[in-house]
């Protein structure tokens, strides 16, 4: 894979920057709904972020998109992988990652997850397990594990685009701040304490940086209290603009503020971007099947649904949309919804879009992160195919499911 030139890679990729003709061709060849992921853009985003933090160790948060094509593309440009579940560990290894470089951030881990991680560490002692509860230490000790541990801190400050992702102030995540020194002492007695970890929230843009950095300051302070660490991991959470009028994250300003917030630490700084790397590298193609005029709205029915992309229903998220079949038609306010039998199955309400007609192809942008990852088979809908763009070519990296795939596990 050719490494992309950052000079040709803008800080954000808008829907209008995609090639409409290519997207129409992909829809005609592979049917819809269809996920498209641009691997060249994925690599460029990682390289741009890494260049802003030249002294830090930048990992990729796999949960944003665990597709093998994405993981392999990032490994090709030197990324290490942070995982939040045993399946992500295995998929990273399948993509070519050295298990000694993986970091497993355990959140209320099921027994199977801990069994897998401990077995993996027997042959890969470089694996790091991040714990957010002393119970997890007890359970690891019961399994005979005495290896590398990072402590996840709850800084008491949450940031991000929605309350459901403001993990830094959610009791579910991390050791309460003032308990960390005591827990660190225990870890040093029974395990190998190598780092501190924290994640304040997700979808942080330039205007959110002050709150985000307030949480990071507390992590830096705790690192100096605990001392003798290999790394301090401040997580990810760095966002991309979903709305057309939002500016991209100012990476230079972000890097400057993050370094100042962390302060002087005798440890490697780690970051774990996920959304920033893949969000604007992916989109969904969907076909218009119904146009319905009502007294209150023009309803445009499409073949994608909340089973394809749940973020609008789950978070109230805005995703840009574009009519790639006729982008120059006059725009009209329309409501775009899918075939699922719930009022939550709506992608846009009263959104100005070049007037859709039946069989037009619409795009749903910024679908590269937490898109396919959260796709489901609700209404017995097989999940869509995914096509990757790479070095000017396209290839299917996930085939379209069939009804047999939906029912295969039934007995």
Q: Is 237 assigned to a binding site? A: yes
Q: Is 312 assigned to a binding site? A: no
What values do phi and psi take at 173, rounded to 5?
-110, 120
The encoded tokens of residue 169 equal 């102030």
Q: Is 152 assigned to a binding site? A: no
The encoded tokens of residue 375 equal 């796709």
Q: Is 399 assigned to a binding site? A: no
- Indicate left, alpha or beta for 144 from its phi (over 0: left) and psi (-120 to 50: alpha): left
Q: Is 285 helix (H, G, I), strand (E, B) or coil?
A: strand
CA gap 283, 278 in Å, rounded = 10
Question: Catalytic site residue 213?
Answer: no
Q: How many C-beta atoms lie closer than 10 Å to residue 115's C-beta?
A: 14
Q: Is 259 assigned to a binding site? A: no
- Widest distance between CA atoms in the chain: 70
List the one residue out of 281, 201, 205 whose CA is nearest residue 240: 205
Q: Is 398 assigned to a binding site? A: no
Per annotation, catalytic residue among 2, 7, 171, 341:
341
Helix (H), strand (E), coil (C) string for 29-42: HHCCCEEEEEHHHH
**What H or E segment, with its residue span, contains residue 27?**
helix 20-30
Q: Is 263 assigned to a binding site? A: no
| Catalytic residue set | 341
| Residues in binding site for pyridoxal 5'-phosphate | 237, 272-275, 370
> Which residue positions form the known binding site for substrate?
275, 311, 370
Mark the binding-site residues, compressed into ranges.
Answer: 237, 272-275, 311, 370
């Amino acid at each position: 894979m050719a490494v992309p030139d950052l000079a040709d890679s803008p800080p954000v990729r808008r829907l209008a920057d995609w090639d409409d003709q290519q997207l129409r061709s992909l829809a005609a060849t592979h049917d819809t709904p269809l996920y498209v992921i641009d691997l060249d853009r994925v690599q460029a985003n990682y390289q741009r972020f890494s260049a802003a933090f030249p002294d830090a160790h930048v990992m990729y948060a796999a949960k944003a998109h665990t597709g093998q094509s994405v993981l392999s593309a990032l490994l090709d440009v030197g990324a290490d992988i942070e995982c939040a579940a045993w399946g992500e560990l295995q998929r990273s290894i399948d993509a070519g990652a050295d298990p000694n470089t993986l970091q497993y951030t355990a959140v209320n881990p099921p027994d199977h997850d801990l069994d897998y991680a401990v077995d993996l560490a027997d042959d890969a002692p470089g694996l790091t397990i991040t714990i957010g509860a002393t119970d997890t230490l007890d359970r690891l000790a019961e399994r005979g594990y005495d290896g590398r541990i990072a402590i996840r801190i709850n800084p008491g400050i949450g940031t991000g685009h929605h309350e459901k992702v403001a993990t830094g102030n959610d009791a579910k995540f991390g050791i309460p701040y003032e308990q960390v020194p005591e827990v660190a002492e225990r870890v040093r007695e029974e395990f190998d304490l190598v780092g501190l970890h924290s994640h304040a929230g997700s979808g942080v843009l330039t205007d959110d940086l002050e709150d985000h950095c307030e949480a990071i300051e507390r992590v830096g302070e705790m690192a100096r209290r605990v001392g003798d660490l290999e790394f301090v991991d401040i997580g990810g959470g760095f966002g991309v603009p979903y709305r057309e009028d939002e500016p991209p994250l100012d990476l230079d300003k972000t890097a400057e503020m993050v370094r100042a917030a962390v302060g002087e630490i005798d440890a490697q700084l780690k970051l774990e971007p996920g959304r920033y790397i893949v969000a604007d590298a992916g989109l969904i193609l969907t076909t218009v099947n119904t146009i319905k005029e009502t007294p209150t709205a023009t309803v445009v029915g499409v073949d994608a649904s909340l089973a394809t992309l749940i973020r609008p229903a789950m978070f109230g998220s805005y995703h840009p949309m574009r009519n790639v079949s006729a982008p120059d038609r006059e725009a009209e306010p329309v409501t775009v919804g899918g075939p699922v039998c719930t009022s939550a199955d709506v992608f846009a309400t009263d959104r100005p879009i070049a007037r859709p007609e039946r069989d037009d192809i619409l795009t749903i942008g910024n679908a590269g992160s937490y898109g396919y990852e959260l796709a489901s088979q609700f209404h017995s809908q097989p999940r869509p195919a995914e096509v990757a763009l790479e070095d000017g070519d396209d290839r299917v990296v996930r085939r379209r499911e069939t009804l047999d795939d939906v029912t295969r596990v039934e007995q």
